[in-house]
Structure 1
Amino acid sequence: MNLLQLIRSFTRTAEAGSIAAAARTLGISATAVGQNITRLETHLGVRLFNRSTRQLALSEAGALYLAQVRHIEGDLARAEAAVTTGDIAPAGPLRIACSRAFGRHVLAPLLPALQQRYPQLQLELSLSDHAVRHAQEAVDVSIRIGEQLDDRLVARPLARVPFVLCAAPSYLAAGTPASVAQLARHPALRYRFPTDGRPLPWLLEDTTRRIDAAMQPGMVCDDIDALAELAAAGGGITRLAAFVAEPYLRDGRLQALLTDDPRGRLAPMEVFFCVSDRRDFTARIRALHAHLQAGLPPAWRV
């Protein structure tokens, strides 16, 4: 009997709230997860879950057992990390969750070099703009902006990415704003944050004053790449992270605004490297953290 496998099925089911969700994170069938839980209950001689046709809930014994065993996987990983030094290269699975735009434009180009350096790593990149739960989704590391931070996670600053105010030359042909005050005459193309449904505010770096609030209503979009296309098609003025704006600026589809006005400098995007526990900085995660720090543009590093 592989007791660790049985415990893993139990803990993932308890954290995910269903056998089907646990099966997805474990990469095995729901039938196999259910059988593992039954074998564990038989081994312990107690019922770990109270089951009904509509829900699965921990029993009193199950809640007590979960509190004792939920950290076993992490403890084993940390024990492995303790001896993973010197010439022993990082190896094993490493699941990274990230927002779609940062993942596409920044992480994806950097990860192949990490894989080539450490071929025993099994990298998985999961992109979503919705809230990611480490335990339930078997995530090792999440890359998050400040608005996504969760006080249950350990977050290390990773980057400060500049924002750029920009619009299409075709839109600006009717008049280019020369100051923050003149932005009030223009529509703002804004990004709606999927986690809570609110458009993210445009804040100035020195005063944290919102400048989008004074602008005319414009279109709202929950995909940053689509927002860039709306701007390139002449829809109005938008705020884009540098990694999204750069190719548009380079080929002339967008034009940066207020670049010479220190009062128009936007507060940067704060990006964080997040794990569930300080002890989770295993060799795999340390290798990823160091690789990202070295691969980011020097002007973004913190």
Structure 2
Amino acid sequence: MNLLQLIRSFTRTAEAGSIAGGARVLGISAAAVGQNIARLEAHLGVRLFNRSPRALALTDAGARYLQQVAHIETDLARAHAAASEQANEPAGPLRIACTRAFGRHVLAPMLPGLQRRHRQLQIELHLSDRAVRHAEEAVDASIRIGEQMHDGLVARPLARIPFVFCAAPVYLAQAGVPQTPEQLATHRCLLYRFPTEGRLLRWAFTREDGRYEPSLAPAMVSDDIDALAELAAAGAGITRLAQFVAEPYLRDGRLQAVLADGPGWAHERMQVAFCVSDRRDFTPRVRALHQHIQAHLPSAWQV
């Protein structure tokens, strides 16, 4: 009897809320998952689920058992990594989750150099602006901005990246150049919306009297930073971009920076963190990734 296989069928079914959902995650048939759960119940001598034609719910014993076995796979993966990475040489799969813009513009160009240094790494990069769950999605490490963090992660500050307020020269010629944050209220503003939460990412400044968020009436909204950059370049209005997104547009003149830090106020910066689910997850692979990113970030961004 493969007890780990039975436990996996149980935990995936509990997470999905149905045998069919657990089967989809595992990539096996629903019949096989049902048989595995039945074998596990027989082995334990308790019923783990209450079943009806339309519902599946954990019993009290099932809920207690799930609490005890939920981290078995993660612990086994850590043990396997510790045993397989001989002499602390990074090797094996390294699954990284990252916000889309940072991953596309900053992280992806760095990763070939990491793999050239450590030929045995098998790197997978997953880009998403939603809250990625490390254990459930087999993620080794993630790079998130402060607004996309969630409880339970071990986060190490990685970078503080400047924001740039910018617009197309043709827009500024027509609408004028804002001189203070308060003047943004009279401009067409292009804002980012978090795709999973639906809330807008507010623009903020630090002033001597505290944090200030100007009143804005969004002209356009998108859940993709690169789309906002293109909208701004086409003359749609003013947007706020991370420096690594804005730089190519500023260099070729498609966008013009406005609202540089002024007397008594300054832009907030993007806070970027390197995250794992547990301190024990800093395996040689994850440490190599962390060190490589730190070594290749611009010095002005480093914390």
The reply to whether TM is greater than 0.5 is yes
Displacement after TM superposition at 1:82 (Å): 4.7
In 2 relative to 1, CA 45–74 (structure 1 residues): closer, same or farther, beyond 3 Å?
A: same
Q: 1:182 to 1:158 in 2, by over 3 A?
A: same
In the alignment, residue 202 of structure 2 is paired with which amino acid? Answer: P
Match of 1:297 in 2: 298
Correspondence for 1:271: 272
Please name the residue that 1:125 is paired with: 125
Deviations 1:224-270 (A, max 9, x none): 11111111111111101112111111211111112363545310111
Write the distance in 2 (CA, Å) between the matches of 1:108 and 1:222. 20
Structure 1 pair 299–32 and aligned structure 2 pair: CA distance change class (3 A): farther
Which residue of 1 is the match for residue 235 of structure 2? 234
Q: Name the residue aligned to 2:87.
A: 87
Change (3 A) 1:294 1:172: same
| TM-score of the aligned structures, taking structure 1 as reference length | 0.87
Q: How does 1:44-193 map to 2 (within 5 A)?
A: 44-82=44-82, 87-174=87-174, 175-193=176-194
Alpha carbons of structure 1 residues 45 and 123: separation in structure 2 relative to 1, 3 Å: farther
1:25–1:258 distance in 2 versus 1, CA, 3 Å? same
Cα contact 2:141–2:274 (8 A) shared by 1: yes
Cα-to-partner distance string for 1:16-74 (whole Å, 9 max, x where unaligned): 43445445554555555444333333333333222333333222222222222222223
1:250 aligns with 2:220: no
Shift of 1:157: 1.3
Alignment-derived partner of residue 204 in structure 1: 205
Q: CA deviation at 1:216?
A: 4.6
Q: Distance in 2 between the 1:84 and 1:138 partners?
A: 17
2:285 matched residue in structure 1: 284
Gap runs ≥5 in structure 1: none
Specify the code of the residue in structure 2 equivalent to 1:297: P
One-letter amino acid of the counterpart of residue 94, structure 1: L
- How far apart, CA to CA, are the structure 1 residues paired with 2:97 and 2:28? 21
> Residue type of the partner of 1:10?
F
The residue type equivalent to 1:284 in the other structure is R
The 1:240–1:277 alpha-carbon spacing in structure 2 relative to 1, beyond 3 Å, is same
In the comparison of the two structures, how many residue pairs are matched?
300
Deviation, 1:149, is 1.9
What is the percent sequence identity of the aligned residues? Answer: 71
| SS state at 1:152 partner | coil
| CA shift digits 1:152-205 (9 cap, x unpaired) | 222221211111000001111122223334333312111112232121111113
Decide whether aligned partners of structure 1 residues 273 and 255 sit closer, same or farther in structure 2, where only a CA change above 3 A counts: same
Who is 1:8 aligned against? 8
Relative to 1, partners in 2 of residues 1:147 and 1:39: Cα closer, same or farther, differing over 3 Å? Answer: same
Mapped contact 2:191–2:218 kept (Cα < 8 A): no
Tell which deviates more after alignment, 252-261 or 22-31: 22-31
Determine the structure 2 residue equivalent to 1:40: 40
Contact 2:233 2:255 (8 Å CA) reproduced: yes
User: What is the distance in 1 between the residues matched to 2:143 and 2:286?
Assistant: 12
Q: Distance in 2 between matches of 1:39 and 1:261?
A: 69
Whether contact under 8 Å (2:129, 2:148) holds in the other structure is no
Per-residue CA distance 1:58-99 (angstroms, 9 max, x = gap): 222222222222222232233345556773422333322222
Report the more deviating stretch, 81-90 or 246-255: 81-90
Aligned-partner residue type, residue 289 of structure 1: H
Contact 2:131 2:150 in 1 (8 A): no
